Amino acid sequence: MRRSPYKICLKKQIDVAKFTSDIITQQLSKNKNSVLGLATGSTPEQTYRELVKRHLPHQKDWSHVRTINLDEYVGLDKNNPQSYHYYMHFHLFNHVGLPECNTFLPDGTSSDPISEGQAYEQRIIDLGGIDLWLIGIGSNGHIAFNEPGSSRDSRTRLVNLSDQTIIDNSRFFEKKTTVPTQAITVGIATIMEAKRIILIATGKKKSKAIYAALKGPVGPDCPASFLREHPNCTFVVDEAAAILCRNNFV
Ligand code: F6R
């Protein structure tokens, strides 16, 4: 038996999406009251499309599932098409019959981000913890919006986005100057408490971050490297993302 993190390399992005949606579907079959941690961004879009496809013919029951998202931009309300609230409804929630009251994201418009962060942590505890957290990775190795330099003990909080993240995410906005510069994000400690973590990465632009996460030192320079200390974490990547450390993957 290989040790966590388990490393799986598949040919293409669509294979990563199918594999990952199978894992999530299995989780829901095992426990229809599952608490899923979810991510936004380009990478999970195809996974969500696959989940919606699997939901349609079998009417997989999502009515008892609860979801917790990684993060939300500061200053964007939930009706803003660039907000992560909007993204999640657009790509997943609206298509699988997930009751609105079962879905949770940080409130990026909160006037009191400290209380918002504490309440979010408490919410996760009240839900009984996260059964499976699907996460992505930034080109600089961030997980959620825990940018390089973030502490292993970090919890849900207000953060400044790094220049690299602002540049990377400007593709979702009209121009770079309209990208929010802050977010409310769960912390590394919050993610590490999930029972199971699936990190997905696709494309060559993620290859350096995947290399640093798996082969570099474990520490705040590459926040994703902390996942090597999690007992049940799987990296699922495509060949392009694995290119710098292909031998580490099955
Ligand atoms: C998204 C999130 C981020 C993204 C990461 C990769 O909720 O927390 O960490 O997972 O920035 O984004 P994409 O998939 O757009 O490359």
Q: Which atom of ligand 1 is nearest to the CA of 136?
A: 10
pLDDT one-digit tens code per residue, 43-73: 999 999 999 998 876 667 899 999 999 999 9
With the most atoms of ligand 1 within 8 angstroms of its CB, the residue from 70, 91, 105 to mutate is: 70
pLDDT one-digit tens code per residue, 141-169: 999 999 999 999 999 999 999 999 999 99
Neighbouring C-alpha atoms within 13 Å toward the C-beta of 195: 11
Give the DSSP letter of residue 176: G
Is any atom of ligand 1 closer than 6 Å to the C-beta of 144? Answer: yes
Distance CA 227, CA 6 (A): 11
Distance CA 81, CA 104 (A): 17
Q: How far is the CA of 91 from the centre of ligand 1 (A)?
A: 15
pLDDT one-digit tens code per residue, 16-45: 999 999 999 999 999 999 999 999 999 999
Is any atom of ligand 1 closer than 6 Å to the C-beta of 150? Answer: no
147 is catalytic: yes
pTM over 0.75: yes
pLDDT one-digit tens code per residue, 201-236: 999 999 999 999 999 999 999 999 999 999 999 999
Block residue for tokens 């974490």? 233
Q: How far is the CA of 40 from the centre of ligand 1 (A)?
A: 6
pLDDT at 241: 98
pLDDT at 61: 81
Within 10 angstroms of residue 76's Cβ, the number of other Cβ atoms is: 18
Q: Which atom of ligand 1 is nearest to the CA of 39?
A: 7
Contact between 75 and 182 (Cβ < 8 Å): yes
